[in-house]
Amino acid sequence: MPYAVGNIGTGSAMKRREFIALLSMSAAWPLIAKAQTDGSVRRIGILFGATEGDPQVTKYLGAFSSGLRQLGWIEGQNIAIDYRWARGSIERARSLAKELVGTSPALILTTGTEPALALRETTATVPVVFINVTDPVAGGLVASLARPSGKITGFTPFEYDIGGKWLGLLKEMSPGLRRVAMLGDPVNHNFRGSKASFETAAQSLSIEPTSVAVHGAEDIEREVGSFAAAGGGGLIITAATFSNVHRALIVNLANANKLPAIYWNRFQVAAGGLMSYGPDTAELYRSSATYVDRILKGEKPADLPVQGPTKVELIINAKTAKAIDLVVPPAMLARADEVIE
């Protein structure tokens, strides 16, 4: 129903506030009409590697929900979502994958390599959209990035050469580094993949590289403490569930031992980490809504190529740098996408 602004004056029965409210509703009508064409409710599942209530994951879920709304999908109206949280446990991820598949969803969205692999092992019929899986080809999730071929597709955060870039940035931040340990989950193929570029860069930078396999809190405490004792070291924290679930522990250990550390995601720097270089994860979640929409409307995952990030961010925590006796180079400050004071 159209409204003429010129007909609304101080004596009109419709007050300005009411008019603005009606105008907002009218703008939303096309989306609602599009989403409720057949009156059905579609059910999807989401399998997280993280813990329920994690503030950063909540933020990312907001980005995903926003993406869905823009496409006409409103949770509680025409779409229902079942959430499951693996809390960093591989076995729990496998159990929850079976549980979600048992609900007969139209598709499942998942985040991280371990939950994605759990779903691949569980179903060959339910479409799966993943986020934050490095090299899904090596992981056996898809046949190729351009033509996934099966029921799985999604969004990958970076390529393996990121290992060398992390080391270069860490050395630039702390020129006196002599040793660097790359922490990763031995079950996760991206740890093995990033290792090669890390070791190549270490050779050119005259740094002694160490690859450290960790999964749980006990591994992290033991290995970081042992590495820090020799001095002159720094840390690279690779992308895996452990680096999300145990981020407070890792950040506190690194800072307490004055170990310069680079992480793969902004949320670790927001928690007090020194710096990060990686994708805008919120944007990956928002983009994943487009694939959910297309699959719900009948497209096949096999026809949807795996996509990479549209933006990679350098985030620096200046307060942490000062606390561990580092001076951030002006050139790095100028390049940073965000500086946390």
pLDDT one-digit tens code per residue, 189-231: 888 889 999 999 999 999 999 999 998 899 999 999 999 999 9
Which CATH number do you get for residue 93? Answer: 3.40.50.2300
Answer yes or no: are the C-beta atoms of 240 and 211 closer than 8 Å.
no
Burial class from Cβ neighbours inside 10 Å (0-12, 13-18, 19+) for residue 276 reads buried
Inter-residue long-range contacts of 117-121, CB under 8 Å, 24+ positions, other chains counted: 117/141, 118/47, 118/86, 118/90, 118/93, 118/94, 119/47, 119/152, 120/152, 121/94, 121/97
In a domain, 2, yes or no: no
Q: Structural domain of residue 190, as residue ranges?
A: 162-280+313-340
Confidence of residue 98 (pLDDT cuts 50, 70, 90): very high
Q: Please tell me whether residues 185 and 300 are part of one structural domain.
A: no
Given a cut of 90, whether residue 38 has pLDDT beyond it is no
Answer yes or no: are the C-beta atoms of 286 and 222 closer than 8 Å.
no
Domain count within the chain: 2
Q: Please tell me whether residues 147 and 216 are part of one structural domain.
A: no
Given a cut of 70, whether residue 327 has pLDDT beyond it is yes
Given a cut of 50, whether residue 244 has pLDDT beyond it is yes
Selection from 117, 75, 69 nearest residue 94 by Cα:
117
CA distance 44 to 116: 15
In a domain, 267, yes or no: yes
CA distance 184 to 190: 8
Q: Please tell me whether residues 196 and 321 are part of one structural domain.
A: yes
Q: What is the pLDDT of residues 140-178, one digit of tens each?
A: 999 999 999 999 999 999 888 999 999 999 999 999 999
Q: What is the pLDDT of residues 47-59, one digit of tens each?
A: 998 889 888 889 9
The residue-averaged pLDDT of 89-93 equals 93
Looking at residue 39, its pLDDT comes to 65
Looking at residue 24, its pLDDT comes to 39
Given a cut of 80, whether residue 5 has pLDDT beyond it is no
Given a cut of 70, whether residue 117 has pLDDT beyond it is yes
Given a cut of 80, whether residue 34 has pLDDT beyond it is no
Q: Please tell me whether residues 265 and 118 are part of one structural domain.
A: no
Q: Please tell me whether residues 113 and 218 are part of one structural domain.
A: no
Given a cut of 70, whether residue 17 has pLDDT beyond it is no
3-class secondary structure per residue, 212-269: EECCCHHHHHHHHHHHHHCCCEEEEECCCHHHHHCHHHHHHHHHHCCCCEEECCHHHH
Of 3-7, 19-23, 136-140, 193-197, the poorest mean pLDDT is in 3-7
Looking at residue 139, its pLDDT comes to 87
Q: Please tell me whether residues 139 and 46 are part of one structural domain.
A: yes
| Residue 270 or residue 2, greater confidence | 270
The residue-averaged pLDDT of 73-91 equals 94
Burial class from Cβ neighbours inside 10 Å (0-12, 13-18, 19+) for residue 161 reads middle
Given a cut of 60, whether residue 307 has pLDDT beyond it is yes
Q: Please tell me whether residues 122 and 258 are part of one structural domain.
A: no
Confidence of residue 14 (pLDDT cuts 50, 70, 90): very low
pTM for the complete prediction? Answer: 0.81
| Residue 287 or residue 188, greater confidence | 287
Given a cut of 90, whether residue 70 has pLDDT beyond it is yes
